[in-house]
Amino acid sequence: MSDDAHTPTSTRVFDGFPDVLTRQNWPITVPMMPHPHVLKDGTTVQEQSAEGWAQTLEVMTDAGYTCIDPTDTWIRIADLSPERLDEFSATVRQAGLQIPAFSTSRRSVMDHEKAEENLAYSHRAIDACAAIGIPVVNFGFMRGFTPAQAKALWFWLEPGYSDDFSADVRQVAVGKIQELAAHAQSVGVQIALEMYEDTYLGTADGMVQFVQDVGYDNVGLNPDFGNILRLHREVEPWEEIAAKTFPYTNYWHLKNYYRDEEPSTGSIRTHPAPLEFGTINYRKAISMAIEAGFRGAFCVEHYGGDSISVGATNREYIRRVLPRATTHRPFSSGAGTN
């Protein structure tokens, strides 16, 4: 756990969820994945000036966003000095943006080669979120790409690494998330655990059992079943995933895919799609989530093409299908609560 957690001199990056959520004020965030971490001159976003950060953020405000998920494929807030973290916080607020959640990417605490490094990084991520007022940090067990995935047009067309599901190794994973949960709880941060194939969070039952085994009220689920729908294999129906996981959901990545299955040949094809056009009926899914008690932030994801603009289309679609009536908080998310 880092000793650098502090109260920033700059403005916090999230004002908090409204007591009454409406179509207009419900936080809908977008990942900063379309923006590279390494810049054209070979330096990284970590080293970039606040003016450089502001120019990137302008792209998002021009697309109509009011919230972002910084995502560590763009900037590693966990590795910013306290002074630079404050500078980042101020730059985000000056751009007119808020950060309801921060997602880590492919930093599994069970990675065979980087487990301890990733665990230490995860603790720093919690401290960074607490320091500038980000209420939720999103973790997963997905690892870096295999060589084949790195070469593929769509990385999910190639198999990735799989977790070890033996009871003793899985218990180690539970223990590491409990360690992070205790730290996060002590600084007022929630943890969301992201669905991803061939990990401890790869099925609905697996997710629910895992969050129950962790047993901390500040730990919930991110049921990103778009990660499952896109696979070229038999997959769990999204409605079943939704029904089981929504009572535990505290953050939600939404993305959609066209999925075509040919029974006579076994051929399966998938391709990214805007939320309203793909195979998953997100009008129904969002209604199910709210009925189950979800009151967290949405995150609009998309792969391929102009994902920033597709995300903006997805954002407006979500606002259209949210209930006309107001939706009340507070909402306590975590194992066994909704």
In 3D space, the residue among 67, 158, 71, 175 whose CA is nearest the CA of residue 115 turns out to be 175
What pLDDT is recorded for position 329?
A: 76
- The mean per-residue pLDDT over the stretch 113-142 comes to 98
Q: Worst-scoring range by mean pLDDT, 57-61, 107-111, 234-238, 262-266?
A: 262-266
Cα 158 to Cα 194, 197, 203, 252, 285: the distances in Å are 20, 12, 19, 25, 28
- The mean per-residue pLDDT over the stretch 191-211 comes to 98
Domains detected in the chain: 20-328 (3.20.20.150)
Q: 323-335 pLDDT, tens per residue? A: 988 888 764 444 4
Q: What does the alpha-carbon distance between residue 313 and residue 298 come to, in Å, rounded to a whole number?
A: 14
For residue 38, the cross-strand partners are: 44
- The mean per-residue pLDDT over the stretch 36-53 comes to 96
Q: What does the alpha-carbon distance between residue 134 and residue 99 come to, in Å, rounded to a whole number?
A: 6
Q: Worst-scoring range by mean pLDDT, 40-54, 165-179, 318-332?
A: 318-332
DSSP secondary structure string for all residues of 266-335: TEEEEEEE-TTTSSS-HHHHHHHHHHHT--SEEEE---SSSHHHHHHHHHHHHHHHS-SS-EE-----BT
Q: Is the pLDDT of residue 1 over 60?
A: no
* Average pLDDT of the chain, as a whole number: 94
Q: Tell me the whole-structure pTM to 2 decimals.
A: 0.94
What pLDDT is recorded for position 330?
A: 60
In 3D space, the residue among 302, 285, 154 whose CA is nearest the CA of residue 232 turns out to be 154
Q: 276-301 pLDDT, tens per residue? A: 999 999 999 999 999 999 999 999 99
Beta strands in the chain, from DSSP E residues, in sequence order:
20-21, 28-29, 101-103, 136-139, 190-194, 219-222, 251-254, 256-262, 267-273, 297-300, 327-328
Beta strands in 202-246, from DSSP E residues, in sequence order:
219-222
